Structure 1
Amino acid sequence: MKKESKLSKLKSYARKLKQNLFVLYLSYKDSRTPWYAKVVAICVVAYAFSPIDLIPDFIPILGYLDDLIIVPLGISLALKLIPLHVIEDNREKAEEMKKNGKPKNWFVGILFLLIWLLVVVWIYKLVIQAFY
């Protein structure tokens, strides 16, 4: 019972953090945001909006690590790097953006597909070399 409540709390916390993705996107475009915060923010937003995960969800346990750990950690780091007044100014704009739906980042999705393809080719070569 305790595991379920901890997991549901973690999921709820991750959901709340993910609501800040639009704020991060707008803060990235804001000239008042420091360059290092922009780099972190755009990486987090690109990964979160990518239609393909680095660790696919069908892989047991590991598949949900990015949704429950990686993305929320990236969001919290980015939010800490961005000045508070920039975040507050972009919250209202973010609410309007959310009404239009989650954008997709196909560039990052294709990048992850290429990474997985390279991993498969590398494993294939290792297997072939081991048997021949």
Structure 2
Amino acid sequence: MPGIIDRLRQRAKDLKRDINAIYLASRDPRTPWPVRWLAIAIVAYALSPIDLIPDFIPVLGYLDDLVIVPGGIFLLVQLIPPEVMREHRLAASNREHAAGGRAAAAVIVGIWLLCSGFAVWAAYRYFRH
């Protein structure tokens, strides 16, 4: 069982790295423009609240997200020139290990804490009367 979990963790790390590499490659002039547009379309689909099959339909609602987005990522990895993908995978791996990600996470957590504190303060003032 630990072997399966380790493989799934590694695949998740690889997927995260590839998504970052695709982002970087989509901004690289060596990447053909149709591939750039496809990358934008896949990211837009992944972030869009509109799906081919609405999410409120049990099982099928999430099935399109589980097939289209990873399939699109796989297709993009195949379409991006190998030397460009290799270069940006390396850059994406280096970015993961940079301290900037931790600093950005700290800023986001700080903003959430401030917003939460403000919400508690506002609720206290509202319900105090």
Aligned with residue 90 of structure 1, among 80, 88, 91: 88
SS at match of 1:78: helix
How far did residue 93 of structure 1 move? 3.0
In structure 1, the residue matched to 2:41 is 43
Contact 1:21–1:75 at 8 Å: present in 2 too? Answer: yes
Contact 1:57–1:63 at 8 Å: present in 2 too? Answer: yes
Can you give the 5+ residue segments of structure 1 that lack an aligned partner in the other structure?
Answer: 1-10, 102-132
- Pairs aligned (count): 92
Amino acid paired to 1:88: R
Identical aligned residues as a percent: 44
Aligned with residue 52 of structure 1, among 29, 49, 54: 49
- 2: distance between equivalents of 1:45 and 1:97? 20
Q: Using structure 1 for the length normalisation, give the TM-score.
A: 0.54
Q: Using structure 2 for the length normalisation, give the TM-score.
A: 0.55
SS at match of 1:36: helix
What are the superposed Cα offsets for residues 35-60 of structure 1, whole Å, 9 maximum, x if unpaired?
12111112112222x16251443321
In structure 2, the residue matched to 1:65 is 63
Q: Which runs of 4+ in 1 moved over 6 A?
A: none
- 1: distance between equivalents of 2:13 and 2:55? 20
- 1: distance between equivalents of 2:96 and 2:14? 16
Distance 1:61 1:45, change over 3 A: same
Aligned with residue 31 of structure 2, among 11, 30, 33: 33
In structure 2, the residue matched to 1:78 is 76
Moved more, 72-81 or 56-65: 56-65
What are the superposed Cα offsets for residues 57-78 of structure 1, whole Å, 9 maximum, x if unpaired?
3321112113320101111111
- 2: distance between equivalents of 1:91 and 1:37? 17
Can you give the 5+ residue segments of structure 2 that lack an aligned partner in the other structure?
Answer: 1-7, 106-129
From the CA coordinates, give the structure whose radius of gyration is larger: 2
Amino acid paired to 2:85: I
Distance 1:94 1:23, change over 3 A: same
Distance 1:22 1:91, change over 3 A: same
